[in-house]
Amino acid sequence: MELWFSEFHAPDVKHSIRVNRHLYSHKSPYQQIDIYETPEFGKVLSLDGNVMLTERDEFIYDEMITHVPMAVHPGIKNVLVIGAGDGGVVHELARYRTIENIDLVEMDEQVVEACRMYLPENASRLDDERVHIYFDNALRFIRRRTDEYDLIIVDSTDPFGPSESYFTKEFYGICYNALHEDGILVNQQGSPFYQHDAEAMQRSHQRIVSTFPISRVYQAHIPTYAAGYWLFGFASKKYHPLDDLDAEKWQALNLKTNYYTTRLHKGAFYLPAFLERLLEEVE
């Protein structure tokens, strides 16, 4: 028997992962949730047929969305994480003793339950005493918050379907208001390679640029995402992601990482020419 999980990275491009067992399948009120056991990537979580994380390469995403802002802002204590019900980003954040509070807003309780069951390592820090989980609509949740957070991380699905509202100008505006005057917003910004993705990334970047005084895009190699090439948005009221990087201070924390380094931090912002042009078109 051959069992393969296939995902269309573009209408004419397919990425397929051999599967040992289909461990979990559930249709929640929001989306189709599946967990597979695979020989190459370990356990794989998919939502509506799109790979969200694999045990083998999720460290790249989680490290890059977490350590980049943490190495720039000198005093992050209160963090809001949107989406990320798998617990990977919280796992990375919880390594910082200086963080006092992490609010996690996930609309889909079933994602958290499935990950607690099948990805316990990933979800293990969801029980950290600093973590508070809210099963709620993120827009509704944030709209009630003003001048409250040092860092907001948007770890959403792609801007098509249930997460579409996390890529609107309205959403970036309420994030801006929920942040302190030196706050940072980091979000997943999709892939710049296939046209459909590139256009969505441009729309979203344009909205962030018009909301925050500082807005830069950075990159990482993530093999199971479209084209293996993924982007993050760094939007900030005060701190610049390169000028304000405090490499020595971060290194003194002695956090062992598998992808992030403070040198790579800089390189992640040095983008290919075609991507610089895509961004300039909307800036």
Tell me the binding residues. 31, 86, 106, 137-138, 155-158, 162
Tally of CB atoms within 10 A around 177:
13
* Single residue of 248, 254, 263, 280 touching its own copies by CB under 8 A: 263
When asked if residue 274 is in the footprint of its own copies (CB under 8 A), the reply is yes
Which sign does the torsion angle of CA 241, 246, 252, 253 carry?
A: negative
Site string for its own copies, 207-246 (x = CB under 8 A): ------------x-x-x---xxx-----------------
Known binding-site residues for spermidine equal: 86, 155-158
CB of 146 to its own copies, least distance (A): 37
| Cβ proximity to its own copies, 92 vs 108, nearer residue | 92
When asked if residue 194 is in the footprint of its own copies (CB under 8 A), the reply is yes
Site string for its own copies, 24-53 (x = CB under 8 A): --------------xxxx------------
Instruction: Based on the residue annotation, tell me whether 197 is a catalytic residue of this protein.
Output: no
| Cβ proximity to its own copies, 118 vs 259, nearer residue | 259
Among residues 34, 155, 243, 244, the one annotated as catalytic is 155
Task: Round to whole Å and give the CA distance between 217 and 20.
Answer: 37
CA 233 distance to own-chain centroid: 9
Minimal CA–CA distance to 256: which of 56, 59, 78, 57?
59
CB of 90 to its own copies, least distance (A): 21
When asked if residue 23 is in the footprint of its own copies (CB under 8 A), the reply is no
Identity of the residue numbered 1: M
CB 3 within 8 A of CB 19: yes
When asked if residue 278 is in the footprint of its own copies (CB under 8 A), the reply is no
Helix, strand, coil shares of the chain, percent, nearest 5, are 35, 30, 35
* Single residue of 10, 139, 214, 282 touching its own copies by CB under 8 A: 10
CB 168 within 8 A of CB 210: no
Q: Which residue has the tokens 């770890």?
A: 155
Minimal CA–CA distance to 71: which of 269, 205, 228, 271?
269
Tally of CB atoms within 10 A around 168:
15
Selected range binding its own copies among 27-35, 105-113, 168-176, 271-279, rule: CB under 8 A: 271-279
When asked if residue 14 is in the footprint of its own copies (CB under 8 A), the reply is yes
Beta strands in the chain (DSSP E): 4-10, 13-18, 21-27, 32-38, 42-47, 50-54, 78-83, 101-105, 131-134, 149-155, 179-190, 214-221, 229-236
* Single residue of 100, 132, 272, 281 touching its own copies by CB under 8 A: 272
When asked if residue 149 is in the footprint of its own copies (CB under 8 A), the reply is no
When asked if residue 94 is in the footprint of its own copies (CB under 8 A), the reply is no
B/e letters for 215-248, b = 16+ CB within 10 Å, e = fewer, are bbbbbbebebbbbebbbbbbbbebbebeebbeee
Write out the residues near its own copies by the rule CB under 8 A.
4, 6, 10-18, 38-41, 57, 60, 193-194, 219, 221, 223, 227-229, 257-261, 263-264, 266-274, 276
List active site positions.
155
